[in-house]
Amino acid sequence: MSFSLNRKQRITLEVDSDFRSLWDKLNQEPLLDIEIKKHRNKRSRSANAYFHVLVNKIAAETGESDDLVKERLVVAYGTVARDKDGCTVGFKLPVSVDVHDLYKYTRCFDVREEDGKWFNCYLVYKDTSKMDTKEFSHLIDGAIDEAKALGIETDTPEQLARYKEEWSR
């Protein structure tokens, strides 16, 4: 970061891949909006695989479907979705509508009456594919706790520490 003579700030960015063709397209626009935010690694394939192993074991023990266990874990230990301004994402539906027909990772937090009609109000949770390593690690920790409570054997703390080190790269 540097300052120009007119006291404006100049930021220089370094990118990992060849940006020239995208720059050629963007450079034709009169104005650009550029967002800079803290980098968060996406969850790894091995983290995802381990999560699904836990989901399968919990489902086998409880008699629930894998999908139901995953939904329950995401809502219990996942991350509430936020918009680009950081506001919590949610919606309301008439009580006659099954929310799972629209989106599976939701939690009803209120029932309201408006103009004689009843509505369920929902919080929306991130899909696991949208979680970063920190968020996904928290989800796995919750799945491990549930598995242990059911008497299901999980990897040792040392193995989990190695996984988490790998997942954070």
Residue 142 lies in a domain: no
* Residue 96: domain span: 80-125
Q: Can you tell me the distance from the alpha carbon of 154 to that of 135, in angstroms, rounded to the nearest whole number? A: 20
Q: Which residues pair with 90 in a beta bridge?
A: 123
- Positions of the chain with pLDDT lower than 50, given as ranges: none
Residue 131 lies in a domain: no
**Per the structure, how many domains does the chain have?**
1
Residue 87 lies in a domain: yes
Residue 120 lies in a domain: yes
Quick one: pLDDT at residue 102? 94
Residue 33 lies in a domain: no
Quick one: pLDDT at residue 110? 97
HSE (side-chain half, CA atoms, 13 Å) at 100: 5
Predicted model pTM? 0.70
Quick one: pLDDT at residue 89? 97
